[in-house]
Structure 1
Amino acid sequence: MKGRLPRLKKILVDQGYTGPIGEAVKNVCGWEVEVSQPEPKRKGFLPQFKRWIIERTCGWLLHERRLSKDYEQWAESSESMIYLANIRLVLRRLTAA
């Protein structure tokens, strides 16, 4: 995967990747693995900030019909559709104001 994703520098993961899997990714691919940690001494539901950003963005992108299923044959086509969906989302928000 390292050769296929040359721009990837950091991977955000949850606590399930603190063991040998996270270390293997770091050693083999050279990517930084950042484990999201919950805030201590807090009660109730509190979203983890970086994870919440990713979940919210995925939710926005899934409103696009073409991204709701994996129709693309190549990863490059899928990546292009994600870029187009993000451009459309930003343009819609810029022109709404």
Structure 2
Amino acid sequence: MVDTVGFVLAVLVTPASIQDRVAARALLLRLRATVGDRIRLVWADGGYTGTLLEWARTTLGVVVEIVKRPDLPRFTVLPRRWVVERSLAWIVGHRRCVRDYERLSHHHEAMVRWAMIRITSRRLTQSP
């Protein structure tokens, strides 16, 4: 989960057998534990529909807004979706995050955090 700039707020690595909408509850709970109740709106793609929307609203007080795909016959950039894709591209730029080298999911989560720490520190120390 990333903020509007693209910096990681929470990380959850799951096996491929877990659906995204099922893992989203654990990710939202992890986000709550990390940043508290400051997050009120979360944008998500169409894969996160279903009972997650109501659960997030009633349990966490977070509105999950689905970014709809436009009915156009050609490729269009979805609003807000490109922020997540750009963040993933930044993370994959680090060798240990290109493939699943780690045996344990929490090790891979740590590698993602290290990658974002490196990205953020480089951006903060660059001269304008």
Which fold has the larger relative contact order, with Cα–Cα distance below 8 Å and residues 6 or more apart in sequence?
2
Change (3 A) 1:70 1:6: farther
Superposition misfits of 4+ residues, deviation over 6 angstroms: none
- With normalisation by structure 1, the TM-score equals 0.65
| Other-structure match for 2:59 | 28
CA deviation after TM superposition for structure 1 residue 89, in Å: 5.2
Q: Tell me, which stretches of 5 or more residues in structure 1 are unaligned?
A: none
Q: Which of 66, 71, 78 is the aligned partner of 1:48?
A: 78
CA contact (8 A) 1:61 1:85 kept: no
Deviation string, structure 1 residues 1-22 (Cα, Å, up to 9, x no partner): 2552334613221123333221
- With normalisation by structure 2, the TM-score equals 0.53
- The CA RMSD over aligned residues, in Å, is 3.2
Report the number of matched residues: 93
> Among the aligned pairs, what percent are the same residue?
19
Largest Rg, 1 or 2? 1
